[in-house]
Chain A
Amino acid sequence: MSATAVRPVVTDAKPPVRTRRRAGAGLGLVAWLVGIVFFLPIAWMALTSFHSESDAATNPPSFAASLTLDGYREFFGAGGGASPWPALINSAVASIASTLFVLVLALPAAYALSIRPVKKWTDVLFFFLSTKMLPVVAGLLPIYLFAKNTDMLDNIWLLVILYTSMNLPIAVWMMQSFLAEVPVAIIEAARVDGAKLPTILVRVVAPIALPGIAATSLICFIFSWNELLFARVLTGVVAETAPVFLTGFITSQGLFLAKVCAASLVISLPVLAAGFAAQDKLVQGLSLGAVK
């Protein structure tokens, strides 16, 4: 936030007094404790996923039960249940394809809003943001009716279009702020040297903006992968996505606890991996580039 980057490494006050340092260590311990409490449900879910169903459903919980991969085998359909693969593939298609569409649409728009800004560019930016505040349910019914009348129900490409519209405003905002970091002086210099627009884009703009573009793609991917409402209403058998597949477990009782945990973990894995890999970019993107 601070303009001239007076941003020294971390805050820690100079420890003039020993007591301050001891208090600091105590607070570190508190932080560890809270971190473990927050992580506990996930750790427990992971442990349960490796238990047999009978060990999973006990009270008091069995910490020392032997480990097995049965939960995962069950999830992947060994026990005769529906295979999750079509749903996982649908989710991958919807997330990756919509992310690519978002990039194709958002990059030129962000370019027009930052590097060579159109008049009233802030108004345009706010229009994009305002569409994000329109609740999904407000357009769901017409979209459903449209899909029904055009035979697009249960078609993964309808979700691709909707996910593109869901993520496009965020992407335009984020990329606008990333592209704005490209110093115009460099672009001018390249132009003076006789470089044409494509060269400038590839050689000058892309290298600086690439990390931001990667972060934007990541966030679009995560949102698409997580989405439930559209997928639930607009898909059925063929185009079912991973979250819709998970809703099949809502009423499942005790006997399938290990399977539920395995399923939840497997389906969360892409997002967990992507999120851990890009923690800083994630928050920056989610706050529309406002926080740096």
Chain B
Amino acid sequence: MLTSFLKRLATAIPSLIGVIIVTFLLTRVLPGDTAAYFAGPAASAEAIEEIRVKLGLDKSLPEQFVDYVGGLVSGDLGMSLTTGQPVVKDIVERLPASAELTLLGLFVAIAIAVPLGILAAVRQGSWVDHLCRIVATAGVSLPVFFTGLLLVYVFYYQLGWAPAPLGRLDVFAVAPDPITGFLLIDTLLVGDGETFLAALAQLAVPAATLGIFALAPITRITRASMLSVLSSEFVRTARASGLSPYKVVVAYAFRNAMLPVVTTLGMVFSFLLGANVLVEKVFAWPGIGSYAVEALIASDYAPVQGFVLAMAILYVLLNLLIDLLYGIIDPRVRIEG
């Protein structure tokens, strides 16, 4: 198990090297002159040149690349010019905010989509099946920023149920010192129930927005995969052997239908990280997505590279986790691996 895990980990290294090279080149190819941007509105040509030298942008591309990789090795991702902070610090501060939001969104989606998908498959053609279809259609056809704005309009502006879309915490609430960076966990660790509820209230609408976005693929895959398993011979055998419908569906069929669902979850998670960018904009969420977009607009290379790298590492880890989950769900995968 351990060797297969290490082997799997080793295969991730070339992808990471590729990501480092490609993002470095891509950010250089983008239009926009960082030095001109940061020299300010009144900059003379000399002032721009001065900043270019200060930022090391006057060096040749290979030299800049060596500088960049050298920094990476020592854990230095460079400075963000838009926030004025080291990129590592920014990412460490902001990644938990995005992760908390994305994971909660994914959790909401799974909690609704998986049971819905199973029910739809079991009762094919019933109202549950139609509901499943409606949910899936709505989920794919509503762009995530639109759902976000709509939910803000209804639940905050019209009804007043949701708190103001002002980020992770109400303006007057005081965040606990970060332990994990996840507010929901940190507040529980220090036993601060009020702040926990406040943070949960802030999270509810953005997480629901992401949840709605993620519902469609998960319900569809759960339903399809359940349908194919339910019509397979071992299920027929199990039914014929007189096992209870519950046992047949949950213990036999569902376990076998899980593999494609888990694969989809991995993909949905990465889509969610992308969708996060828009949701963070709508809810003033201090996450990593809005950070990367702002940096991109300002031709601020270091954060963009840092963001892509962080996402790549996250994605590699996620795939690793999914591969391991395969082994748990289906022991045959372990033997082959």
The yes or no verdict on A and B being binding partners is no
- Residues of B with Cβ closer than 8 Å to A? none
